[in-house]
Amino acid sequence: MIFKQLFESDSSTYTYLIACEHSRQAILIDPVIDTVERDLQVLKDLGLTLMATLETHVHADHLTGARRLKQRSGCQTAYPKMLDLPCADLGVQEGEAFVVGSVSLHPLFTPGHTDHHHAYLIDTPVQKLLFTGDALLIEACGRTDFQSGDAATLYHSIHNKLFSLPDETLVYPGHDYEQRCVSSIAQEKARNPRLGQGRSKDDFVALMDGLGLPYPRKIDFAVPGNEDCGACPTNVPEQFRGPCSASDQG
């Protein structure tokens, strides 16, 4: 398996490149429109063919690069099947492996940050790799105050689906804001201040309900744009239109 962790600084988003070293087929988990050119160059440098983009959920903090990558490479777009998005070529759901050559990703339905969120697990002979999207972050978790989020649901998703995995499972989050790259299930159970150390569901719900976080600065255009696989809505503010203009031209 070929694996690279890539970072987009404005939204602090991690994009993950997963590829089969034999077939040279690749996917990108949660690509960002701002870094499409970089991602295409990485694929070219590694001699890989982009088979698909794969989303953990409809993002509120950035526009996905899915549509533009499809335009540029001919790849397919994959989203959680339950969304039934007209723009999506493929739908993923728990119980059905998403196969990239010799690599299998196992979707795990993990609602709470959004009502359709999925994480993806790769179980290799050497190591389990878990791509948690915005559900479980390094010593944190995703917000639950918009997009049908629900703190109690997220608590159950993390404890029942993620914390039940082996302690040595590596955790690769959708974001990090402190230059951290990877964690583990053991570390999150021990050190996550929101979810670890046996914190109760009621305490977690009270904590999440009291965060008082600011309104997401890109949500008004990111959510509708991402429901259309990364199309740029007309209401994208001027300071964020650069990647959209490049996409329109491409």
Q: Which domains does the chain have, with CATH numbers?
A: 2-211 (3.60.15.10)
Give, rounded to a whole angstrom, the gap between the first and last alpha carbons of the chain.
31
Write out the chain's pLDDT in tens, 250 residues: 999 999 999 999 999 999 999 999 999 999 999 999 999 999 999 999 999 999 999 999 999 999 999 999 999 999 999 999 999 999 999 999 999 999 999 999 999 999 999 999 999 989 999 999 999 999 999 999 999 999 999 999 999 999 999 999 999 999 999 999 999 999 999 999 999 999 999 999 999 999 999 999 999 999 999 999 999 999 999 999 999 986 554 4
Task: Count CB atoms within 10 A of the CB of residue 224.
Answer: 13
Which pair of tokens denotes residue 224?
Answer: 């509708």
For 18, the 3-state DSSP assignment is: strand
Instruction: Give the integer Cα–Cα distance in Å for 246 and 250.
Output: 6
Q: Are 27 and 54 in contact (CB under 8 A)?
A: yes
Q: Are 42 and 10 in contact (CB under 8 A)?
A: no
Instruction: Give the integer Cα–Cα distance in Å for 159 and 64.
Output: 28
Using CA of residue 13, residue 108, residue 40, residue 76, what is the dihedral sign? negative
Q: Is 50 exposed, middle or buried (0-12, 13-18, 19+ CB in 10 A)?
A: buried
Q: Are 213 and 145 in contact (CB under 8 A)?
A: yes
